[in-house]
Chain A
Amino acid sequence: MFKKRVAYIVDSDASYRRRFALALRHQGLETRAFSSDADLVEAASYLPAGCVLLAIRGPERSGLDTIRRLLAQRSDMPVIMMRVDPTIREAVQALRAGAVDCLPIPCPMAKVRLALDYAYEILPAKVAHQQFIGEAAALRAHLTSREEEVLKRIVGGMTNRQIALDLAIGVRTVEMHRGNIMQKLRMDNLVALIRFATLAGIAGSNEDAA
């Protein structure tokens, strides 16, 4: 069922960590164990995509920070928080911080598998999305600051004429910028442009909003 699926286990409890890793390997997963969440966060950018099983044994706040820092680096990795007797509040905070689920410690393997099955199901789409974000950031670097100003206004729904007025430049100049943007980004339509702006984190601007 699991093929070359990597699970990253984070747990400060050494004996539990070992037993859990062994149990997951019996399920056919590759495992890598970390004794602290700091170790995982430090290594995160070099790791192949996989699911993170993050046991939080200390105060919950540190766990939320770890989830956020991890996802800031690796939005492609599904994170499952694990905790002894998680309260509703703790679980909801973890989910709101971006975890896909919260499981109790100890947890029946059938339930761990159910959560992992879902996580591995969404992993390819998340990896692809992370890749798109990377590509969009690389393409964005080719734009001049003026072109980015024009792009923000295109995405914000302004016409060439409105953009020209807003930036106090000629309509022909806007058209030229628009052509250059399309060429640099290798795009030929507005929908693709809006999608690019979203991935690159470029917010649309509009004279009404300004």
Chain B
Amino acid sequence: MTQSPLYRFGLAGWLYASRCALPSAWAQRAVDDIVAKSIPRNASLEVTGALLFTGSRFVQFLEGPAESVVAIRQNILADRRHHDIVTFLSGGRVERIFSNWSLAYAGPSLFVADKIENLFHNGVHNTSEVIDLLEQFVIIAEANKP
């Protein structure tokens, strides 16, 4: 990672979950749209992380220069496609977990949906499990690349 002017603000992270405000028929298109816009924007802001979509909930972990994370956070809080945004983790980070930003998973898996629901029931105790879930999706996707 090259030293940018933003570096002096330190590394920050944000893990949140939200409800998708769109009917399911439109949701897939919304996800495609979010991914297409997020890849260049996050790269230019030096923000890495992963997004997950269960069909009804979004979960996203973002990490990067504090100023960048704050800027994206304000965008998301103003985005009408998200409802009921709940923050599970927010603040300074020692090091990055992700080397880029990607869509970890978008699909109907009950296994994944259950892990996300656990986050709501057990709160902060489950944040590492959810970040692990995001990380596993990204690691295995990288490993499967030809």
A binds B: yes
Smallest CB–CB gap between A20 and chain B, Å? 17
Which stretch of A3-11, A43-51, A98-106, A188-196 is in the interface?
Answer: A98-106
Contact B107 A88 (CB under 8 A): no
Contact B133 A92 (CB under 8 A): yes
- CB under 8 Å from chain B, chain A span 64-107: 86, 88-89, 91-93, 95-96, 100-103
- CB under 8 Å from chain A, chain B span 84-140: 105, 107-112, 115, 129, 132-133, 136-137, 140
Contact B109 A101 (CB under 8 A): yes
Chain A residues with Cβ below 8 Å from B108 are 100-101, 118
Q: Which of B111, B133, B144 contacts A96 (CB 8 A)?
A: B144
Q: Which of B110, B115, B136 has the most CB of A within 10 A?
A: B110
With an 8 A cutoff between CB atoms, is A210 at the interface?
Answer: no
* Known interface pairs A88-B129, A88-B132, A92-B133; A102-B140 also in contact (CB < 8 Å): no
Q: Which of B107, B110, B111 has the most CB of A within 10 A?
A: B111
With an 8 A cutoff between CB atoms, is A172 at the interface?
Answer: no
Chain B residue, CB-CB nearest to A94: B111
Contact B111 A86 (CB under 8 A): yes
Chain B residue, CB-CB nearest to A93: B140
Number of B residues with CB within 8 Å of any CB on chain A: 16
CA distance A115 to B55 in the complex (A): 14
Chain A residues with Cβ below 8 Å from B144 are 96
Contact A111 B136 (CB under 8 A): no
* Known interface pairs A88-B115, A88-B132, A88-B136; A95-B105 also in contact (CB < 8 Å): yes
With an 8 A cutoff between CB atoms, is B141 at the interface?
Answer: yes
Chain B residue, CB-CB nearest to A107: B110
Contact A88 B105 (CB under 8 A): no
Number of A residues with CB within 8 Å of any CB on chain B: 16
Main secondary structure, interface of A, reads helix
Chain A residues with Cβ below 8 Å from B109 are 91, 95, 100-102
Contact A91 B140 (CB under 8 A): no
With an 8 A cutoff between CB atoms, is A114 at the interface?
Answer: yes
Smallest CB–CB gap between A147 and chain B, Å? 28
Q: Which of A92, A100, A101, A114 contacts B137 (CB 8 A)?
A: A92
Contact B136 A92 (CB under 8 A): yes
Contact A95 B132 (CB under 8 A): no
Smallest CB–CB gap between A154 and chain B, Å? 25
Chain B residues with Cβ below 8 Å from A89 are 136
Chain B residues with Cβ below 8 Å from A86 are 111
Chain B residues with Cβ below 8 Å from A88 are 115, 129, 132-133, 136
Chain B residues with Cβ below 8 Å from A115 are 110
Chain B residues with Cβ below 8 Å from A111 are 110
Smallest CB–CB gap between B53 and chain A, Å? 13
Chain A residues with Cβ below 8 Å from B105 are 92, 95
Smallest CB–CB gap between B141 and chain A, Å? 7
Residues of B within 8 A of A (CB): 105, 107-112, 115, 129, 132-133, 136-137, 140-141, 144
> Other CB < 8 Å A-B pairs besides A92-B136, A101-B109, 5 of them?
A88-B129, A95-B111, A96-B144, A100-B107, A100-B109
A selection of 6 A-B contacts at a CB cut-off of 8 Å is: A91-B111, A92-B105, A92-B140, A93-B136, A95-B105, A111-B110
